[in-house]
Amino acid sequence: MSAALMTVPMPSTAASLDQYIQTVQSFPLLSQEEEHRFATHWKQSGDLDAAKSLVLSHLRVVVTISRNYLGYGLPQADLIQEGNIGLMKAVRRFDPERGVRLVSFAIHWIRAEIHEYILKNWRMVKVATTKAQRKLFFNLRSMKKGTHSLKPEEIRDVAQQLGVREDEVIEMETRLGGRDIPLENNADDDEDGFAPIDYLTDTAAEPSTCLEHNENERTRSRGLERALATLDARSQRIIQSRWLNENGATTLHELASEYGVSAERIRQIEQKALQKMKALMQPGNAAA
């Protein structure tokens, strides 16, 4: 029943907004008795005709509410469409036995849908995500006196009136005063223009570069393993302890004590092993 309500035929705003407004104004208002009868019938039987009567009689309410949000630069037709979704959600949840008129109940749902639409579309980057930020977003502009930045005492007054922190007021004022910046220059701009994309691009993160880097790392790792395997056990132990120890390199003196030789002898063995491994890991070497 809930999903079926969303299929109720509605007048369209696509052709002409003025014509749409004239159309919805022509739908008759329902008396309290008629509203109760239609709502009860819809709730008990899921009659779409009853739901349609409830929706159509309140479309003018959506138009009126949408006018309060024209200052955000979004098309009124889009605001109306979103508000209509809120109206249908309200009709779906409306309980006629509570003694409240549908218009009073629906206002919350209509505004909620319009608010959500504005928050998603007013900026490419969301300006309000928490409950406090939403409250600030829809109240701060109307509470400001003029276009100047808020003074400390004004910030304090706004924070007290809305029940939020002063730093949240400052942050939201900064967000509202900002603007979206295109990443690339427009086609009509000077070819020598400088856009953010010019300095945001990270060529090191390109997929081809990453794949090449990973493949080179794997190749070096395999070559190192093969070269190390050609060494005798003592040379392997010295190289691993000196160069491949994750916990830190072992000193020459520690290895000298372990093998009962001088530190100089350990250094000689290390250098000889490194030279052999380097030769084996040269590009094109069959052993690598």
pLDDT in tens, 109-153: 999 899 888 877 765 445 555 666 677 777 776 676 666 677 788
Among 88-102, 143-157, 254-268, which stretch is predicted with the lowest mean pLDDT? 143-157
What's the fold here for domain 2-121? Four Helix Bundle (Hemerythrin (Met), subunit A) (1.20.120)
Task: Tell me the pTM.
Answer: 0.49
pLDDT digit string (tens) for 3-34? 555 555 667 766 688 899 999 999 999 999 99
Polymer length in residues for the chain: 288
Q: What pLDDT score does 1 carry?
A: 44
**Domain ranges for the chain:** 2-121, 131-177, 223-288
Cβ 165 vs Cβ 173: under 8 Å: no
- Tell me the CATH class for 223-288: mainly alpha
